[in-house]
Structures are given as C-alpha cells and as structure tokens.
C-alpha cells in the first residue's frame, strides 16, 4: 500500500478522498466534513502551522504527495493567501518530495484560463514548476472541470444555485449564461483520482496531464434551469444577463478525457441524477 501525504483533507474534494493517508491541515481548518474521521486509525492528522515540514519528511517516508488544498480567492482572502495555498505550499512540498525520494507528486489543477483571476493564475504558475520538475519526480496534473455535490461551500457557484433555489429566494442575478461547462458529480471525480492512483506504476516517470470532466458540456443557463426544475422551484426569478461576464471568460470548456478513459475510467453519473442526489442529501441534513 502506498504511503500518501494529502493536503486539503478537510475540504470538499479532499475529505471525499480520505482513506489511509497522512493529512496536512491548519489548526483553523473547519473539520465538520471529517468529524467522524478525526479518530480513524488509518488517517494521521498533522497541523501544518505547528509542523516543521522538513522534519516531517525526515521522520516519515511518503510514496505520493497528493495536493488538493485550494484557495479560490473568494471573499476577503488576500492575494498572498491565494498564492500561499496554490503556489508556495505545493512548491515547498514538491521540493521536499524531490529531496526525500518521494516517487510521485499529484497536483489538483483547474481547466480555467490563468488570465481569469488570481486563483487560476496561481494554479497555472505552479503547473509550470511541476512540469519543470518532471525529470526529478513523477509528476501528475489533474485538471478538474466544475465538480459539485452535497455539502460543498456556498461560495461555489453550483452550491449557491442549489441553496438559493431550495430556499425559494425571490430572484437570482446571473450572467447571460451562454458559457458552457462540464458539470461533473463528486463521486465521478473521486473515482478518477483512485483510478490514477491505482495506475501510477503504468504511467511515465515524467509529466502526465489528465482532465476530469463529463463527455458533453452544457451552458450555465441550461444547468440553472435544470436545477430549478429538479428542486421543484416555480417561483424564483432567474435574471440572466444581470451580471456581466468576467474578463477572459471561458465560453466553451473543451476538455479531453481520453487519457483517463484509457485507464478504464469514464463518468457514470448523469447531470440529472447528480443534481437529484445532491439535493436529496442536502435535504436530509
């Protein structure tokens, strides 16, 4: 069994991946998603802000570093906070991994263009460092499309839409909604990560990129209308066009999942079923 060091284990994606790993978190990290796993025998929790990272790598050997920690740069987060989580932390771990003989570094990336915001810029800056290190450590980059599921943070677009529709808010201001995305359910994303982890020995020793998405994109407008229908909401006014597009907005997310399909993975949960599952689980809490 591979020894895995995981960052972002208290987040939406990371918490779904937890199983026999060492997790780097901060003492201020919310742990409500993982409350039932805090005492799990197979998971070792380490507070990043109380730990000397070089000492950690000296005292324990890791086969894989799986970087899922992400700062989306929303709210009152500073540029430094965003760069720290998305660039400086993984760069530090990458260097330590190389120095201490870690076989593989797996990075969680985004398909969003680096010009859109500080989040995507910092992600793409680290991607360049990861590619540069490919001769020293097996480097795997997993670029994710817009994934969704129950109990994600309401700062995420999909969760915000679900919650506002479920609450029956009077109106929701939106862009024109013509931009296309591959909305993929969290279970399919988790299966993609496990598929890659199970096949690391078959991958090249250098750099390998993967994209995780559905096989067909739909417009934001279609997604919101479908969510409204599935929630049974007949009252909320959807104000398409009330918000302008972002600068350098990606209008059609053209992804390529052929590399993952070659490993035996493909998305299994339809958008309709994924939204239904998300809403049902949200209503149960």
Q: What pTM does this model have?
A: 0.90
CA dist 152 → 55, 176, 193 (Å): 33, 24, 18
The pLDDT-based confidence of 47 (bands split at 50, 70, 90) is: confident
- C-alpha dihedral (30, 156, 182, 124), degrees to nearest 10: -70
Q: What residue ranges do the domains of the chain occupy?
A: 1-144
pLDDT value of residue 108: 95
pLDDT tens for 207-216 read 999 999 999 9
Q: What is the CATH number of domain 1-144?
A: 3.40.50.720
The pLDDT-based confidence of 194 (bands split at 50, 70, 90) is: very high
pLDDT tens for 82-128 read 999 999 999 999 999 999 999 999 999 998 888 888 999 999 999 99
Instruction: Summarize the confidence of residues 231-252 as an average pLDDT.
Output: 93
Which residue from 79, 67, 88 is spatially nearest to 4, judged by alpha carbons? Answer: 67
Rounded Cα–Cα distance for residues 205 and 140 (Å): 10
pLDDT value of residue 21: 74
**Strand, coil or helix: what is 149?**
coil
Place of tokens 């997604």: 223
């Amino acid at each position: 069994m591979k020894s895995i060091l995981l960052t972002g284990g208290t987040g939406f994606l990371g918490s779904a991946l937890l199983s026999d790993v060492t997790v780097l978190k901060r003492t201020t990290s919310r742990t409500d998603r993982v409350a039932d796993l805090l005492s799990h025998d197979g998971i070792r929790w380490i507070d990043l802000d109380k730990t000397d990272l070089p000492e950690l790598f000296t005292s324990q050997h890791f086969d894989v570093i799986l970087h899922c920690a992400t700062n989306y740069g929303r709210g009152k987060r500073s540029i430094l906070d965003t760069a720290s989580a998305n660039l400086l932390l993984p760069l530090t771990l990458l260097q330590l991994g190389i120095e201490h003989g870690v076989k593989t570094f797996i990075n969680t990336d985004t398909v969003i263009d680096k010009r859109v915001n500080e989040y995507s810029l910092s992600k793409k800056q680290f991607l360049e460092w990861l590619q540069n290190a490919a001769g020293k450590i097996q480097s795997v980059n997993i670029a994710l499309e817009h994934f969704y599921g129950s109990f994600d943070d309401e700062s995420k677009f999909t969760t915000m839409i679900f919650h506002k529709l479920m609450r029956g808010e009077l109106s929701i201001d939106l862009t024109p909604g013509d931009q296309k995305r591959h909305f993929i359910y969290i279970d399919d994303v988790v299966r993609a990560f496990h598929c890659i982890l199970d096949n690391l020995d078959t991958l090249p020793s250098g750099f390998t990129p993967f994209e995780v998405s559905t096989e067909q994109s739909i417009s934001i407008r279609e997604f919101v209308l479908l969510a409204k229908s599935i929630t049974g909401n007949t009252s909320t006014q959807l104000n398409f066009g009330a918000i302008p597009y972002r600068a350098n907005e990606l209008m059609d997310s053209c992804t390529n999942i052929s590399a993952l399909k070659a490993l035996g993975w493909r998305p299994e949960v339809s958008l309709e079923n994924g939204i239904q599952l998300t809403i049902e689980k949200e209503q149960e809490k």
